[in-house]
Structure formats: C-alpha cells, structure tokens
Amino acid sequence: MKSSTLKAGLVQHAVGPDLDATRALTERGIRDAVERGAKLVLLQELHQSSYFCKVEDPSLFDLAEPIPGPGTEWLGEVAKAHSVVIVGSLFERRAAGIYHNTAVVLEADGSLAGRYRKAHIPDDPAYYEKFYFTPGDDDMRPVDTSVGRLGVLVCWDQWYPEAARLMALAGAEILLYPTAIGRSAEDPEHEQQRQQDAWETVQRGHAVANGLPVLACNRVGFEPDPSGATTGITFWGNSFACGPQGELLARAGDAPDTLVVELDLQRSERVRRMWPFLRDRRIDAYGDLLRRYRD
C-alpha cells in the first residue's frame, strides 16, 4: 500500500564545464536528500552542463545525447544505488537536426520510467533555446512511478496554466518543474525581484488551480555570456515546494542547497472537495482556447 506521505528532495547547485565535477555535486545532493528520508529527488534543468543557450553555437549540439544514453545510464545507477526515484533533465539528440530539452524519470530500481520533452521553448536574450530545441510532441501525460504519478514539465512550461491543467486532468499527483532561470545585472534591482516573485507566484497558482503540490528546482550561480552580448545570467535558485492550496512548504535561498520536504499525498483529495475547480470547469465554453487570439 502506497504511503500517504512522501518526502521529496530538490537539489540546487551551480554548474560548471567539468561533467565529472558537476555529477559529483549532483550525487552529493541526492545522497544528502536520501539520508534525510527522500524517496523522490528533483534536479534542476539541464543539470549536466552550464546553461549553453546563452549563445547560438552549432558546435554545442555535441553536448546532446540519445535517451536512453549515458545520462540516463548514470542517473539510473545513482537511483538504484540510493533506492530513490530521480527526475533529471537532459539535452536529447532524437535524430540529426531534431534535439529536445527532455526531462527523464528514473525509477528506484534504476530503470527509465518515462520522459517528457519540453513543449514551450523560449527565445530571449541569453535564452536562445529555439536554436537548440524542437518543441516536444509528447501529450503532456504524467509518468507513473513507485512514489506516485508525476506531472513532469520543464522551466518555460511553468508559465503556462494549460500545461499544468493537462497534467492534472491526466491524473498527476505532483507537478514538478526542473528549471534554469535567473536575472541580468542590466535590470534594476526592483525589476529583478518582480521577475523572481512572478516566477514563484505563477507556479503556486498552478498548485491552487489544480489542487496539487508543486516542486520547482532551479540552479544557482553566475554563468557568463561567452559572446559578450549580455552581462550573463545569475541563476537565482530559490527552489521551493508548495501544497495544493499554494501554501509554501519550503524554499531555498540563492546558494547551493538541498531541500527536503514532506508532502501529504491525501491533501489534494481534501482540498478538491472544498474547492472543486475541476468539477466546475465549463468545458463547453473553452473552444476558443485552441485559437492563437480572439480577434
């Protein structure tokens, strides 16, 4: 019988160019979370490398790998060694000319339980993801694991209520967002804070609207722009967990950290009985959501 509670870990750290050193940091965080009781660990977006999308450089496609491949093999070994479900994020080479930003879910026995290819792809200064990533053609369905049905989405997806809702409608028990987001020194301090507040607020809103807990794991540290076109990105960390009414359960700061939080998996049932948003949806009135804009 599945437990009514689940301890989850979120591992945030800085990432450098040395893969072995980065993996050592990641595994140290996973081990820390497991020693504190975590049965599920969420890693940050593209956790194996520096955030390479700051520039458009064809040679950086060499970072991509197949799935299954070396990245999932390593994560599987770590998951099995620590008997923990791990949600990671990899640069996937699907075929020549088709690459994805892909979240992977490794079961506690080391097997690959599932994957999700990022659907919403940004294209902004220092976030040139459209150059690298093809939008995912998965149907936004959760991945079934030994710790529950995981609604895994990736970073820019976290701004879209439609993605969270589709996961909820498919029976997700938790929404998870591996993330790489930060601030530019070119923005005034008050604007930097507004952006960070908006990032957390919108995800807590998904928790409320769907009656689900949310886990968001973001990287930390400054990463320069090798082109010199921007001042680089300072990833703000602040990984957090909230409950199905958006209540904040835990939040990290802007330094490397491993959060461990206990989730009440029965709370969604109780909350949805009080706030039955899924029941009261007017599905007969939403046809125009399939339009780009209502002129």
- Enumerate the active-site residues: 45, 118, 155
Joined tokens for residue 125 = 């200064």
List CB contacts of 107: < 8 A, sequence separation 6 or more. Answer: 79, 85, 113, 145, 146
Joined tokens for residue 272 = 């949805």
Q: Phi, psi (5° rounding) for residue 205?
A: -65, -40
Joined tokens for residue 196 = 């960070």
143 forms bridges with which residues in the sheet?
Answer: 150
Joined tokens for residue 184 = 């530019």
Instruction: Say how far apart CA 236 and CA 239 lie, in whole Å.
Output: 9
**Per the omega criterion (within 30 degrees of 0), is the bond before 68 cis?**
yes
Instruction: Say how far apart CA 226 and CA 55 lie, in whole Å.
Output: 7
Return the number of other C-beta atoms located less than 10 Å from residue 59's C-beta. 7
Judge contact between 107 and 80, C-beta under 8 A: no
How much is the CA Rg of the chain, to the nearest whole Å?
A: 18
Instruction: Say how far apart CA 250 and CA 131 lie, in whole Å.
Output: 35
List CB contacts of 256: < 8 A, sequence separation 6 or more. Answer: 12, 13, 14, 25, 29, 220, 221
Pick the closest to residue 107 from 139, 68, 155 (CA basis). Answer: 68
